[in-house]
Each structure stands twice: as structure tokens, then as C-alpha cells.
Structure 1
Amino acid sequence: MTAKSAPGFPASRPRRLRRTPALRALVREDRLSVDDLIWPVFVCDGDNATQEIASMPGVIRRSVDLTVEAAAEAQAAGIRAICLFPYTDGTLKTDDCAEAWNPENLSNRATRAIKAAVPDIAIMTDVALDPYNAQGHDGILRDGVIVNDDSVAALVKMAMAQAEAGADILGPSDMMDGRIGAIRSALEDAGLCDVTIMSYAAKYASAFYGPFRDAVGASGALKGDKKTYQLDPLNADEGLRCVARDIAEGADMVMVKPGMPYLDLCAKVKDRFGVPTFAYQVSGEYAMIRAAAGNGWIDGEKAMMESLMAFRRAGCDGVLTYFAPEAARLIRAGWE
């Protein structure tokens, strides 16, 4: 029976199915599972060290040893994947971004340490130059211009170093043209054909990234903006073309970033391509919920869970979220 032919009131009383928790659970159209969560984790230098991130209350940077502990905690909570982001010392940031492919950089050391201690958790890494770039950009800057092809060559070296360190999922987040094909070809040539790529395929030039740039130490370094390589927020069709391109070049999974302001695009990507589709609930989204909850303006737990449910309803297979440990705890406790 279609909606048009459904009986009218009183034969049809939709509230009947909302009357009790058991009935609501029986007819719920989507589910949020711990399996849907990827936890972004920030890594810093030091031993047994943590650093607060003022613009992201409740999120910290961790030294490699504590990042290993966090990975073990995540696995114990049922979270199957974490994503590593390094806070690179300013003395290591250069115009050529060479620290990005140093086998001993923070990200690669953390990857090897986690794989040695918690081998079954999936490790995702960030493939972008901004944590290592003296100019704060995701690509190499020359004469005021982000040069695409030289940036791609650098990104390939970075991706290969991460794959060789043991990363399970590479996350190219730079939005340079052709980088997925170049990385996939390099992986195949090196016999690393099982390494997966989750492309940040539709990443928008957003105002919601500010706290993240604080977290990785890129805020002060950034010169200008990223509008010449990240997408215009008004361009949904262009986002879909970028997704199609990255799938054709060898991406196994695709991502829309930011998350909640772009739920329409998440739905379109899943409907059109039918590939594993993810969203990143970015730092600004997280910070807004935390700040409002901290001021008593909203119920933080309920807003957090509702925001994560929205990604599933839009068709996402999973979401990168700083709320992952807290959400996992609530889900496992039988959140209603």
C-alpha cells in the first residue's frame, strides 16, 4: 500500500507505533551502531603526555604511548577504527613538507606502535600536507599558488610512508586533482594492493574547521584560505563529479566533509553511487554541541546522539566523530 492510498484517520493512527519503547524499536527505520564510528585522535610528542585543546573541550592530544592506550580503549568499547592526526613541532614544518613522508614522523610512529599492541583495530591516516607545511596549506605553495602536480607527488610519498608503517586506510584529504589515481598506482606498484583508500572526495571550503586547525597546529601558519582547492559550499553537482572521479581513480570509500551542514550531499552520494559513504562530523560541529551543552542550552548527550543518527538517516555507512567513545558507551548501554 502506497502512502497515497493509506487509510485516513481514524483507521490510520501513526501514534500507535510510537506508544512504547518496544514498538518504537520494532519499526525504527535506521540503527546507529558502534560499528559505524571512527574516532579521530590527535598525536603529540613526548612520553605519558597530554595537551588540552581549548577550542575542543574534552578532546586532547596524546603522546604515542598514550595513543596506543587510547586505541586499546577504543577497541574495548567496540570501536573498530581510529584516525590519526599529528601535532607537528613548528621546527619540522617546511615549504617542501618533507616531514610528511619521514618514516619516523609522529603519525608513522604511532601507527607502528598501535599495530604492535592492538593489531586488530583499523588505523586510518590523514594524507594532507598542512600539518607539515610552513604555510599551513594542504598542498605546496609557490609564488602564492598551490601547485597541483608537485603536491600530488609529495602526497604519494606521504601515502606510501603511511602504508609501509601499517596503515589500513589512507584518507587523502587535500582535494588536489588526480591524487587518488596517483596513490592507487603507487600502492599497486609496491605490492600494497590491500591498503584501502577513503577519499575525502567532497571536501568543502568550510568555516567549521577552525578548532581542528588549532588541534594540529596549522591555524597560525595558514596564509590565506583554501578556496582554490576545496569546494564551494554552494556546489553540490561539483561535489558529485569529484566523488565520481575519485571512485574511478580507485577510492574504495568516499567521504563528505563537513557532515551535518552537508547531509543533502551525503544522501545524494549514497543514492547515486552506492559505495561505502562516510561523513566527518568536524571540529566546529563538535565544538558547537559541546559549547551549547556546557552553557546548559541543550542536553549534550541527546544532541550528540541525534546528530549521529542524522548521518545514518542520510545514508552514511559511518561517521568520523570526536564523540565516538562517549557515543559507543551510550549505544552499548542501550540508548533509547
Structure 2
Amino acid sequence: MNLIERPRRLRRTAGLRAMVRETFLQPSQLIYPMFVLEGEGRREPISAMPGIHRFSIDLALEEGHRASELGIRALALFPALESELKNPQGSESWNDEGLFQRAIRAFKRELPEMMLVTDVALDPYSSEGHDGLVTDSGEILNDETVELLVRMSLSQARAGADVIAPSDMMDGRVGAIRAALDAEGFTQVAIMAYSTKYASGYYGPFRTALDSAPRRGDKATYQMDPAGGYREALRESRLDVEQGADFLMVKPALAYLDVLRMMRDSFDLPLVAYNVSGEYAMVKAAASLGYIDERRIVLETLTGMRRAGADAILTYHALDAARWLREG
């Protein structure tokens, strides 16, 4: 054959492939989610998420050091509260001496260069298991919830949070949080908006980790419809940009790579993909049965999220991925 173009020439050796590679995955692009609980010396495995644990603050700090040594520069913290601390208002969320606030302070003392992304939503603190206040009829209240999210955000900022991450999907919460942070002098605290968060079946293992499954009512009234299309995603993200968000997010990532690409093409803010618990659990289950090469699948999946447009990826694979990337 007399071919002028032979694309395979550039795939012939590892050196050639590396030279023309367009997408790069690095540990500094990974955000490692961690669950903290009360006590000392406590490390509880999460059955639905093999390899992931809830840690007391002292052991969480050790895990944070391991992440730092692997080149990870950001952690996302989530509180696993005892049930007796939960109530319909989620009032423990703005307790300046609560578990979460003490964990934030401990991390900033021990690992001051590690960026802390802190979750803002009522579900870890609510006896109802919802991201907002719930009426007797099961309705999720919006504006009343936003007032509580503001209190929670200010408490986290006082503790030392670098990035506030409202994951609740209440209307107007980014603007209200930004105004409150600025008014209190926290102008340098950034907001990572869960701007495109779907009512997904991929969240099950996470809700097991925090015992935060809804007791009644429907999260689909505030999280987005998976079949809702692009216009809703664009509208939600545009509103968050207008209200002062510093990062945008797409959650989940794997089933929504088309949305991730659209967000990258439409907005110039840093874009985060959340590689969620269900995505993680499926890979671990298949790997445990010998059906897939875990290392290869994880790195391929994360690279795909980067290729789709993610600047950073929040993933439970972070420690393993960072280790594999270091090994080459």
C-alpha cells in the first residue's frame, strides 16, 4: 500500500507515545476524600468501599501524611457523626467545637500546606438524612436551609477551611455563603460548588459510610434529573458562577463525561469531577473477582475524566493512583 499518512508511526514505541501524549494525570490533580469520626486510635472499615475507612482525628492525620508524601495536595473531609448528635436541624454542623471543626483545626496545624475542602450540607448531621430541612409532609425547604448552610460555612471557615464545598443543591446557597464569608473577613476562602449534581444511584456506598440515607422524602426534588439534559446543567453552573463560585463540579463523573466536557467548553473556572463511591465500589468488586486489572482500569478511568475536561478529580482511588503514578 502506498499510504501517505500512517498514524501508527507515532504509536510505535513508548517514547513516541509519551512525546505526543495530550492528557496527563498527576497526583497533584487528585483530591482524596476522608471520613473522620470521634475517639482516638479508631479505624473503621467501610464494608461497601473496600480499602476506605473512617478515621479518628489522630489516625486521619497519619493518613493525611501518607497522602502528602505521595504528592496529593488536597483532602476533602466528611464527618461521620454518632446518631445521638443528629437532629432535624443538623445543629451540630455549626458547633465550633464539634468533631468536624476540631478535625479541620488539627489538619491545619499538622499539615498546613494541605488544602482542605470541607463539605457543606445537612445530611451528615440530620436525623432525616437530607441535605436540607424537612417539613412534616416531607418537603425539603430551600431558603430556610440556606440560612443553616451559611452558619455551617462560617463555622468551617473559622476552623481554617481553605475551600467550602456546598453539596446540597439548594437554590441561592453559593451567593449567600459568599456574601457571609466576605462579610466576616473570609475573602480568601474559596467555594467549590457542586453545581451539577445528579440524583444518582451511584451514591449508595457513601451514604453507608456516613449513615446519611434519607429516612423519607425525595432527594430528586433538589438533585438533578439524570435525564434532564444539558440546559439544566448549564443553568445551574451559570448561576453558581454569577454568585461567586471559584470551582465548578460534575457529580458523578463516569456516567456524565459528556456533561463534564460541556462544562469545560462553556466555563473558564477550574472544573472538578467527583469519581463517586459507587464508581469506586464497582471497580473494587470487579477487581476482587479477577475480572479486571484494577491499576490499569483506575488510571484509564481517571485519565478519561481529565481528557473530558476535569482540572481535578475527587476520588477514593487517590492513594492507589498516586502510588501507581509514582511507580510509572
TM range (shorter): over 0.9
Aligned counterparts of 1:209 and 1:237: Cα–Cα separation in 2? 23
User: What is the letter of the counterpart of residue 104 of structure 1?
Assistant: E
Map 1:1-336 to 2 at 5 A.
10-143=3-136, 144-219=138-213, 222-235=215-228, 236-334=230-328
Task: Give the Cα separation in 1 of the matches to 2:170 and 2:231.
Answer: 18
Runs of at least 5 residues in structure 1 that lack an aligned partner in the other structure: 1-7
Instruction: Return the offset for 1:222.
Output: 2.9
**Deviations along 1:30-64, whole A, 9 cap, x unmatched?**
11111110000011111011001110011000001
Q: Deviations over 1:232-271 (max 9, x none)?
A: 0012210110000001000000100001101111110110
Give 1:224 shift.
Answer: 3.4
Aligned AA (2:11)? R
Using the TM superposition, give the Cα deviation of residue 225 of structure 1 relative to its aligned residue in structure 2, in angstroms.
2.7
Does the aligned pair in 1 maintain the 2:119–2:165 contact within 8 Å? yes
Report the counterpart of residue 3 of structure 1 in structure 2: none
One-letter amino acid of the structure 2 residue matched with residue 125 of structure 1: T
Report the 3-state secondary structure (helix = DSSP H, G, I; strand = E; otherwise coil) of the residue aligned with 1:91: helix
> What runs of 5+ residues in structure 2 fail to find an aligned partner?
none
TM-score normalised according to structure 2 size: 0.98
Q: Give the SS at the match of 2:325.
A: helix
Name whichever of 104-113 and 255-264 sits farther off: 104-113
RMSD across aligned positions (CA): 1.0
Kept in 1, the 8 Å contact 2:139–2:217? The answer is: no
Task: Give 1:87 deviation, angstroms.
Answer: 0.6
1:170-213 Cα shifts (integer Å, max 9, x gaps): 10000000000000000010010000000000000000000000
Distance 1:329 1:74 in 2: 9
Question: Secondary structure, in 3 states, of the residue corresponding to 2:249?
Answer: strand
Q: Distance in 2 between matches of 1:222 and 1:44?
A: 22
Identity among equivalent positions (%) equals: 50
Secondary structure of the residue aligned to 1:32 is coil
1:288 & 1:222 partners in 2: Cα distance? Answer: 25
Whole-Å separation in 2 of the counterparts to 1:105 and 1:230: 27
Give the TM-score normalised by the residue count of structure 1: 0.95
Cα displacement (A) at 1:9: 6.2
Decide whether aligned partners of structure 1 residues 80 and 14 sit closer, same or farther in structure 2, where only a CA change above 3 A counts: same
Residue identity opposite 2:246 in structure 1: D
Instruction: State the secondary structure of the residue aligned to 2:22.
Output: coil
